[in-house]
Every structure is written in structure tokens, then in C-alpha cells.
Amino acid sequence: MGAKTLVQQLEEIEIKSAEMKLVFDEAGPEMDLTLVKTLNGDDVKDTADVVKWIQERESELADLNSDARDKAALIKSSENNSQLLTILDLLKAPSNALSHAVADSVNGATKSFGERFTDAYSPDMKGREITFEDYDIKTLFETTAGWLPETTRTGKVVDAVTRPLQITDTIPFTTTGQAAVVYMEETLRTNAADGVSEGGTFPESAYALTQVSSPVQKIAHFIPVTDEQLEDEPQVQGYLNNRLQFGLRQKLDEDLLTGDGTPPNLEGLLNRSGIQTYALSSEPVADAIYKGLDLVRVVGRAIPNAIMIHNTDWQGIRLLRTTEGMYIWGNPSEVGAQTIWGLPVVVNQVNSVGTAFVGDFQNFSEFAVKRGVTVKVSDSHADFFVNGKQAIRADMRGALQCYRPAAFATVTNL
């Protein structure tokens, strides 16, 4: 038998997902696998076999979805004849370290001043009051007012606690040379095609297109630094360059989902008008997410390829157990699959707790880069020239497109 087509794979995904959903429905919100009757047979005899079946089916769905995404991307590439560019790189923090100095100890026979002072408390000194005249004590010689011990800095810089980049890898990147990305959206499609008898009147269809414009916006910041700081510490320039660039990428990573759209801010996917939503009621979380995916498939006519979920919500799913205490998403001794219904889960802290976001990110979202991250240095800001200061700035420009809002859905009340 030859390789399966994309349509065949999608049909198989639907069938296997429906079978898995039926098992979850029978188990109920409490995940009581003793209630599962669908899988009764020679291969499934007890709840342990049910858990094994669920894990195997999840692995099969993950493989099928991965292969389907690859086929869909190949089809899209051949149709559009365009090359998507990856712009953002992971920040690599400096990791070089200096070795620690090792002090040698030297033992001598001559008594130190401290030892001679201790001798003052020998038996022949008992009962004698020690006065300043006896020892002529002057200013105490100590490290704060004497010889400061030498300390060699390692050179390691420990980054402050901050959120890593989590969203940008899911959304395709391209480029633009315009001030806005303008495209046409079909807003009316009345298909009246029907059977017509000989000499009969043809039914009339109707179509309408609307121009949509996604403006290019800018993300930027700067930091002032003295000439001496840049000259005296070689690592400063690289450190500031890296941190400024990472700050831009982190802000972009957040705005791709939650940008409010008020100029000059990007309008994130979660704030786009027309995205769908499903609220969990009494069913298991996995069932609610499946229903959100089904909205994308049926109403949005799209192929969902990712599920975005907050760490706190993923924790509840990963720790999900049956009434007998067996972990559904893998034993504690293993990493476990970071997938739901065979689709990759993007665990992040941009999503709000209690809300998952699913959709066809590959085909119906895109970030067009007008200008990549640019870092510039100048002393012409304010009075920086006469005060020996430099202004280091970083900025980037781009536009975010959501080509079909119905291809996305939120799943709330998790």
C-alpha cells in the first residue's frame, strides 16, 4: 500500500480521536476507568490495560498529526511559492568563567603579634589588670581600614529571573517592505450552484471581498551608559547588546498573543475579533480541549496544529490520575508526552491561567518583519556628548496577520 494522502491521514485522526473521546466520556470527570466498556476485549482486561491503550493511542495521534502538518506545510509552500524566514535566534548568555585563586599557607617559628598578645594571659599574669599603658593600643588594624583582601571576580553574569521566549516558534515569520501588510479577505460567499434542467434558469451566486490592512508597528527601548563603563569592562558591550535584543524579542513574544492593538501596539491573536470560544462545563479538561479543536475544524475549516496552555493548567493535566491512582499522561518516572489529542502543547506564561488557546497557527497566522532587531550607539542624545555618555538603543518593526480568526479558539474555565 502506498503512502497515505493528507486527506486519508486527517480521516484517520478524526476516527482515532473519536474513539479516544468515547473512552474519556465513559470514564467521566473523575476518570473512573472501571466505567469504560468500549475497550472490553482480549487485549483490554482491566484499568491498567485502558491506561496503556490511552497512552498508545496518544502516541499514534502525535505521529499522525506531525506527518499531517508536514504534508500541509509542503502543500502550502508549493502553492504560494514563497520561503518563510526565521528571524529570531535564541539568546545565548555568556558562560565563560575565571578560575578561583588558591591561597598558600606558610608556617613559621616566629610568634606573631597575636600570639604574643595571647601570652599576656599566662599564669604569671593572672590577677593583673591589663591597661592601655601596658600594651599601647593604637587604631585597630582590620580589613576595613587596613589591607583589604584581594578578590577576583569570576566573570560570570547571572541573569535576573525572567520569562523565556515561548510563543514565537509557533507562528510563521516572513518579511515585508511595506508600511502595512494589505490583503483581501472574502467576506461574502453565497454558493447557489445546483442542478438545472435544460433551458432552466441558472441560480445566482454572490461573492464579496474586503481589503484588510495590518500596520507595521515598532518595538523599541534604550539604555544610557558612560564612556568609562564601555572602555573599562570588555563584557559590558556584549552584555547590553544581548539584553536589549532579548528584551525586544520577549515583548514581541508576549504581544503575538496578548497585544491590545492600540497603536503603536500590535493586536495579538487572542484579541482578534472573530476567534471562537468554548467553555468547559462538567466534562474532563481533555474533552473540552477536543471540542475547541473541533470548532477550529468544523467552523473554521482549518487544521489545528498547536495547543497553547499556561503552566498551571498543564500541571493539572499532567498530574491527572484514574480513581486507582494511575497517571494518564505517563508515570512520574518519565517525562511523558507533551501532547493532547496528538497535537503539541506549547506550555507558557503568556496565556491566562484557566484559558487554553488552540488553532491553525501554521496556515492562518503570520508575522511579517519590516526590519529585524537593530542596535545603534550614539552620544548625540541630550547632553550626553559633553558628559561622556552613550545611548544604546534597540528596535524592530513588523506586522502581525490573522488571516482567519475562526481558525482559532479559546477554551475557558479550565
Burial 396-408 (b: 16+ CB within 10 A, else e): bbbbbbbebbbbb
What confidence score (pLDDT) does residue 179 get? 96
- Express each pLDDT in 365-400 by its tens digit: 999 999 999 999 999 999 999 999 999 999 999 999
The DSSP H or E segment spanning 181 is strand 180-190
CA distance 256 to 410: 15
Number of H helices, E strands in the chain: 10, 12
What confidence score (pLDDT) does residue 407 get? 97
Identify the bridge partners of residue 359 per DSSP, sorted by sequence position.
306, 408
What confidence score (pLDDT) does residue 123 get? 47
What is the reported pTM?
0.77
Of the CATH numbers 3.30.2400.10, 3.40.1080.10, 3.40.50.300, 3.40.50.2000, which one belongs to the domain with range 164-190+204-412?
A: 3.30.2400.10
The DSSP H or E segment spanning 231 is helix 227-232
Contact 265, 120 (CB under 8 A): no
Task: Give the max Cα distance, the chain.
Answer: 137
Residue type at 335? V
CA distance 118 to 267: 76
Bond into 264 cis (ω within 30): yes
Using N-to-C axis directions, what is the helix angle for 285-298 and 6-27, rounded to 10°? 150
Given a cut of 70, the residues of the chain with pLDDT beneath it are 1-2, 42, 76-138
Contact 363, 76 (CB under 8 A): yes
**Residue 224 has which C-alpha cell?**
544610557
